Chain A
Amino acid sequence: MCTTTFAARAFGIAPNNYVSNYPSYKGVFCTGDALAAKGVSIGLDVVGAIPGLGNAVSGTAAVARAVDGIATWGGAAAGLATMDGGDPIGQGSALGGAGLAWYNVALGGTKAIPIVGNVLSGATGLWDAYGAYKAYQSCMASSKYD
Protein backbone atom coordinates (compact mmCIF):
# COMPACT_ATOMS: atom_id res chain seq x y z
CA MET A 1 0.00 0.00 0.00
CA CYS A 2 1.21 3.46 -0.82
CA THR A 3 2.54 5.46 2.11
CA THR A 4 0.38 8.44 1.21
CA THR A 5 -2.76 6.36 1.09
CA PHE A 6 -1.85 4.73 4.36
CA ALA A 7 -1.25 8.10 6.00
CA ALA A 8 -4.47 9.49 4.60
CA ARG A 9 -6.44 6.58 5.97
CA ALA A 10 -4.70 6.88 9.31
CA PHE A 11 -5.99 10.44 9.59
CA GLY A 12 -9.42 9.57 8.32
CA ILE A 13 -9.08 11.35 5.00
CA ALA A 14 -10.19 9.74 1.77
CA PRO A 15 -7.02 9.41 -0.30
CA ASN A 16 -8.75 10.15 -3.62
CA ASN A 17 -9.92 13.58 -2.51
CA TYR A 18 -6.46 15.03 -2.30
CA VAL A 19 -6.38 18.62 -3.52
CA SER A 20 -3.06 20.25 -4.17
CA ASN A 21 -2.47 23.65 -2.65
CA TYR A 22 0.32 24.35 -5.08
CA PRO A 23 -0.53 26.77 -7.90
CA SER A 24 -0.87 25.13 -11.29
CA TYR A 25 1.49 26.42 -13.93
CA LYS A 26 -0.02 24.22 -16.60
CA GLY A 27 -1.50 27.18 -18.44
CA VAL A 28 1.85 28.92 -18.53
CA PHE A 29 3.64 25.82 -19.77
CA CYS A 30 0.99 25.19 -22.39
CA THR A 31 1.20 28.81 -23.55
CA GLY A 32 4.92 28.28 -23.86
CA ASP A 33 4.37 25.15 -25.90
CA ALA A 34 1.90 26.91 -28.20
CA LEU A 35 4.27 29.81 -28.70
CA ALA A 36 7.15 27.46 -29.36
CA ALA A 37 5.08 25.79 -32.04
CA LYS A 38 3.62 28.90 -33.68
CA GLY A 39 5.44 31.88 -32.22
CA VAL A 40 7.93 32.42 -35.04
CA SER A 41 5.23 32.01 -37.64
CA ILE A 42 2.93 34.46 -35.89
CA GLY A 43 5.75 36.96 -35.47
CA LEU A 44 6.48 36.76 -39.17
CA ASP A 45 2.84 37.29 -40.02
CA VAL A 46 2.44 40.26 -37.70
CA VAL A 47 5.48 42.03 -39.12
CA GLY A 48 4.32 41.39 -42.66
CA ALA A 49 0.80 42.60 -41.98
CA ILE A 50 1.73 46.02 -40.60
CA PRO A 51 1.95 48.54 -43.43
CA GLY A 52 4.05 51.07 -41.56
CA LEU A 53 6.55 48.45 -40.59
CA GLY A 54 6.35 46.28 -43.64
CA ASN A 55 5.94 49.03 -46.12
CA ALA A 56 9.41 50.00 -46.58
CA VAL A 57 8.02 47.64 -49.21
CA SER A 58 6.70 50.73 -50.90
CA GLY A 59 10.14 52.17 -50.68
CA THR A 60 11.58 48.99 -52.10
CA ALA A 61 9.12 49.11 -54.94
CA ALA A 62 9.93 52.74 -55.63
CA VAL A 63 13.60 51.96 -55.72
CA ALA A 64 12.86 49.07 -57.99
CA ARG A 65 10.96 51.31 -60.35
CA ALA A 66 13.72 53.87 -60.33
CA VAL A 67 16.60 51.53 -60.67
CA ASP A 68 14.84 49.18 -63.09
CA GLY A 69 13.55 46.32 -61.09
CA ILE A 70 16.88 44.70 -60.55
CA ALA A 71 16.89 45.94 -57.01
CA THR A 72 13.70 44.05 -56.42
CA TRP A 73 15.20 40.89 -57.72
CA GLY A 74 18.01 41.45 -55.26
CA GLY A 75 15.42 41.86 -52.57
CA ALA A 76 13.80 38.66 -53.66
CA ALA A 77 17.06 36.86 -53.28
CA ALA A 78 17.16 38.08 -49.71
CA GLY A 79 13.57 37.08 -49.18
CA LEU A 80 11.05 39.19 -47.35
CA ALA A 81 13.87 40.81 -45.45
CA THR A 82 13.86 43.32 -48.26
CA MET A 83 10.40 42.87 -49.60
CA ASP A 84 8.80 43.33 -46.24
CA GLY A 85 10.77 46.27 -45.10
CA GLY A 86 13.62 44.80 -43.18
CA ASP A 87 11.92 41.92 -41.49
CA PRO A 88 14.90 39.65 -40.82
CA ILE A 89 12.83 36.56 -40.13
CA GLY A 90 10.98 36.94 -43.39
CA GLN A 91 13.89 35.46 -45.24
CA GLY A 92 12.16 32.14 -45.00
CA SER A 93 9.80 33.24 -47.70
CA ALA A 94 12.21 34.11 -50.43
CA LEU A 95 10.00 32.34 -52.90
CA GLY A 96 7.16 34.70 -52.09
CA GLY A 97 9.48 37.64 -52.45
CA ALA A 98 10.56 36.35 -55.82
CA GLY A 99 6.95 36.10 -56.88
CA LEU A 100 6.22 39.66 -55.85
CA ALA A 101 9.39 40.83 -57.51
CA TRP A 102 8.41 39.06 -60.69
CA TYR A 103 5.07 40.77 -60.59
CA ASN A 104 6.73 44.09 -59.95
CA VAL A 105 9.06 43.70 -62.89
CA ALA A 106 6.41 42.24 -65.15
CA LEU A 107 3.99 45.11 -64.60
CA GLY A 108 6.54 47.86 -64.27
CA GLY A 109 6.24 48.52 -60.57
CA THR A 110 2.94 48.49 -58.76
CA LYS A 111 1.42 49.21 -55.44
CA ALA A 112 0.23 45.63 -55.39
CA ILE A 113 3.36 44.40 -53.66
CA PRO A 114 2.78 45.80 -50.19
CA ILE A 115 -0.96 45.21 -50.31
CA VAL A 116 -0.68 41.59 -51.35
CA GLY A 117 2.01 41.07 -48.73
CA ASN A 118 -0.08 42.67 -45.99
CA VAL A 119 -3.20 40.68 -46.86
CA LEU A 120 -1.40 37.34 -47.11
CA SER A 121 0.54 37.95 -43.91
CA GLY A 122 -2.58 39.00 -42.04
CA ALA A 123 -4.61 36.04 -43.29
CA THR A 124 -1.79 33.68 -42.39
CA GLY A 125 -1.56 35.36 -39.01
CA LEU A 126 -5.19 34.53 -38.31
CA TRP A 127 -4.57 30.92 -39.25
CA ASP A 128 -1.43 30.67 -37.15
CA ALA A 129 -3.12 32.30 -34.17
CA TYR A 130 -5.87 29.73 -34.47
CA GLY A 131 -3.25 26.99 -34.67
CA ALA A 132 -1.60 28.31 -31.50
CA TYR A 133 -4.95 28.36 -29.76
CA LYS A 134 -5.61 24.78 -30.79
CA ALA A 135 -2.16 23.72 -29.60
CA TYR A 136 -2.81 25.42 -26.26
CA GLN A 137 -6.18 23.73 -25.90
CA SER A 138 -4.89 20.27 -26.69
CA CYS A 139 -2.04 20.77 -24.24
CA MET A 140 -4.45 21.82 -21.50
CA ALA A 141 -6.65 18.83 -22.21
CA SER A 142 -3.73 16.44 -21.99
CA SER A 143 -1.99 15.34 -18.82
CA LYS A 144 1.35 16.57 -20.03
CA TYR A 145 1.93 19.04 -17.19
CA ASP A 146 -0.29 17.50 -14.52
Chain B
Amino acid sequence: MFDDEQPPTEEKEPTDYTGPKILAFLAPVFFLFVYLGKAEMGFTVIIVLGMIAVAVYLRWKLRKYVWFWATIAVVLALHVPLFFVVRWPDSKVPTIAYSMPIGIADFLLIMAAVRLAEKFFLKGSPPDDGEE
Protein backbone atom coordinates (compact mmCIF):
# COMPACT_ATOMS: atom_id res chain seq x y z
CA MET B 1 0.00 0.00 0.00
CA PHE B 2 2.78 2.36 0.93
CA ASP B 3 5.38 0.70 -1.23
CA ASP B 4 5.95 3.92 -3.11
CA GLU B 5 7.05 5.70 -0.01
CA GLN B 6 10.74 5.70 0.50
CA PRO B 7 12.55 6.63 3.64
CA PRO B 8 13.85 10.17 3.51
CA THR B 9 17.47 10.23 2.59
CA GLU B 10 19.89 12.91 3.58
CA GLU B 11 20.64 14.93 0.50
CA LYS B 12 24.15 16.22 0.37
CA GLU B 13 24.33 19.61 -1.23
CA PRO B 14 26.74 19.72 -4.14
CA THR B 15 29.87 21.75 -3.68
CA ASP B 16 29.42 25.23 -5.02
CA TYR B 17 32.49 26.49 -6.85
CA THR B 18 31.13 29.97 -7.44
CA GLY B 19 33.50 31.46 -4.86
CA PRO B 20 36.70 30.23 -6.56
CA LYS B 21 35.29 31.21 -9.95
CA ILE B 22 34.73 34.75 -8.74
CA LEU B 23 38.21 34.71 -7.23
CA ALA B 24 39.66 33.65 -10.57
CA PHE B 25 38.29 36.85 -12.06
CA LEU B 26 39.39 38.99 -9.12
CA ALA B 27 42.98 37.76 -8.90
CA PRO B 28 44.13 39.50 -12.12
CA VAL B 29 42.57 42.72 -10.86
CA PHE B 30 44.58 42.47 -7.66
CA PHE B 31 47.78 41.71 -9.57
CA LEU B 32 47.13 44.72 -11.78
CA PHE B 33 46.97 46.94 -8.71
CA VAL B 34 50.13 45.31 -7.34
CA TYR B 35 51.82 46.07 -10.64
CA LEU B 36 50.67 49.67 -10.34
CA GLY B 37 52.05 49.85 -6.81
CA LYS B 38 48.61 50.13 -5.19
CA ALA B 39 48.30 46.72 -3.59
CA GLU B 40 46.34 47.95 -0.59
CA MET B 41 43.80 49.63 -2.82
CA GLY B 42 43.69 46.47 -4.90
CA PHE B 43 42.75 44.46 -1.83
CA THR B 44 39.87 46.81 -1.07
CA VAL B 45 38.78 46.76 -4.70
CA ILE B 46 38.66 42.99 -4.97
CA ILE B 47 36.71 42.69 -1.73
CA VAL B 48 34.12 45.18 -2.97
CA LEU B 49 33.99 43.64 -6.44
CA GLY B 50 33.76 40.18 -4.92
CA MET B 51 30.83 41.10 -2.70
CA ILE B 52 29.06 42.79 -5.60
CA ALA B 53 29.69 39.73 -7.77
CA VAL B 54 28.17 37.45 -5.14
CA ALA B 55 25.16 39.76 -4.84
CA VAL B 56 24.69 39.74 -8.61
CA TYR B 57 25.02 35.96 -8.67
CA LEU B 58 22.40 35.56 -5.95
CA ARG B 59 19.95 37.95 -7.60
CA TRP B 60 20.68 36.76 -11.14
CA LYS B 61 16.94 36.43 -11.77
CA LEU B 62 16.77 40.21 -11.83
CA ARG B 63 19.34 40.57 -14.61
CA LYS B 64 16.68 41.46 -17.18
CA TYR B 65 15.80 44.65 -15.32
CA VAL B 66 17.71 47.79 -16.13
CA TRP B 67 17.13 49.15 -12.62
CA PHE B 68 19.00 46.14 -11.22
CA TRP B 69 22.16 47.00 -13.13
CA ALA B 70 21.65 50.67 -12.37
CA THR B 71 21.52 49.81 -8.67
CA ILE B 72 24.70 47.77 -8.96
CA ALA B 73 26.38 50.65 -10.78
CA VAL B 74 25.30 53.11 -8.08
CA VAL B 75 26.51 50.77 -5.35
CA LEU B 76 29.84 50.41 -7.09
CA ALA B 77 30.13 54.17 -7.56
CA LEU B 78 29.43 54.73 -3.86
CA HIS B 79 32.31 52.41 -3.06
CA VAL B 80 34.86 54.29 -5.12
CA PRO B 81 35.76 56.81 -2.37
CA LEU B 82 36.41 53.89 -0.03
CA PHE B 83 39.15 52.65 -2.33
CA PHE B 84 41.17 55.75 -1.51
CA VAL B 85 40.31 55.92 2.18
CA VAL B 86 40.54 52.38 3.51
CA ARG B 87 43.84 51.41 5.11
CA TRP B 88 44.32 47.86 6.27
CA PRO B 89 46.24 47.40 9.53
CA ASP B 90 49.45 45.41 9.46
CA SER B 91 49.29 43.51 12.71
CA LYS B 92 49.78 40.05 14.11
CA VAL B 93 46.04 39.48 13.98
CA PRO B 94 45.10 37.38 10.93
CA THR B 95 43.76 39.67 8.24
CA ILE B 96 40.64 37.56 7.86
CA ALA B 97 39.59 38.65 11.36
CA TYR B 98 38.78 42.11 10.09
CA SER B 99 38.33 41.57 6.34
CA MET B 100 35.59 39.00 6.97
CA PRO B 101 33.26 41.18 9.10
CA ILE B 102 33.86 44.22 6.92
CA GLY B 103 33.23 42.21 3.77
CA ILE B 104 30.07 40.70 5.20
CA ALA B 105 28.79 44.09 6.30
CA ASP B 106 29.44 45.39 2.81
CA PHE B 107 27.70 42.40 1.28
CA LEU B 108 24.65 42.92 3.50
CA LEU B 109 24.49 46.58 2.49
CA ILE B 110 24.68 45.67 -1.19
CA MET B 111 21.94 43.07 -0.79
CA ALA B 112 19.84 45.58 1.13
CA ALA B 113 20.27 48.12 -1.66
CA VAL B 114 19.18 45.59 -4.26
CA ARG B 115 16.20 44.56 -2.17
CA LEU B 116 15.22 48.17 -1.67
CA ALA B 117 15.41 48.80 -5.39
CA GLU B 118 13.45 45.63 -6.02
CA LYS B 119 10.68 46.72 -3.67
CA PHE B 120 10.62 50.14 -5.23
CA PHE B 121 10.61 49.08 -8.87
CA LEU B 122 8.60 45.89 -8.60
CA LYS B 123 5.68 47.28 -6.62
CA GLY B 124 2.98 45.64 -8.71
CA SER B 125 4.81 42.43 -9.37
CA PRO B 126 4.58 39.28 -7.28
CA PRO B 127 7.34 38.95 -4.70
CA ASP B 128 10.42 37.15 -5.83
CA ASP B 129 11.61 35.18 -2.87
CA GLY B 130 13.25 32.24 -4.50
CA GLU B 131 16.48 33.91 -5.36
CA GLU B 132 18.70 32.49 -2.71
Contact = CB atoms under 8 A, between A and B. Distances in A.
Interface stretch (B61-69, B70-78, B92-100, B116-124): B92-100
Given A126-B43, A131-B90, A51 B99 contact: no
B19 A122 contact: yes
A45 B16 contact: no
B26 A114 contact: no
Interface stretch (A2-10, A16-24, A52-60): A52-60
Interface residues of B, number: 41
Contacts of A45: 95-96
Contacts of A99: 100-101, 104-105, 108
A111 B16 contact: yes
Nearest to A59: B13
A72 interface: no
Interface in A94-118: 95-96, 99-100, 103, 107-112, 114-118
A120 interface: yes
B113 interface: no
A80 B97 CA distance: 10
B95 A112 contact: no
Interface string B9-25: 00011011111101100
7 contacts: A41-B95, A49-B23, A80-B100, A92-B93, A112-B111, A115-B22, A116-B51
Interface of A: 40-41, 44-45, 48-52, 55, 58-59, 62, 80, 89-90, 92-93, 95-96, 99-100, 103, 107-112, 114-124, 126-128, 130-131
Interface of B: 12-13, 15-20, 22-23, 26-27, 30, 34, 39, 43, 46-47, 50-51, 53-54, 57-58, 88, 90, 93-97, 99-101, 103-105, 107-108, 111, 132
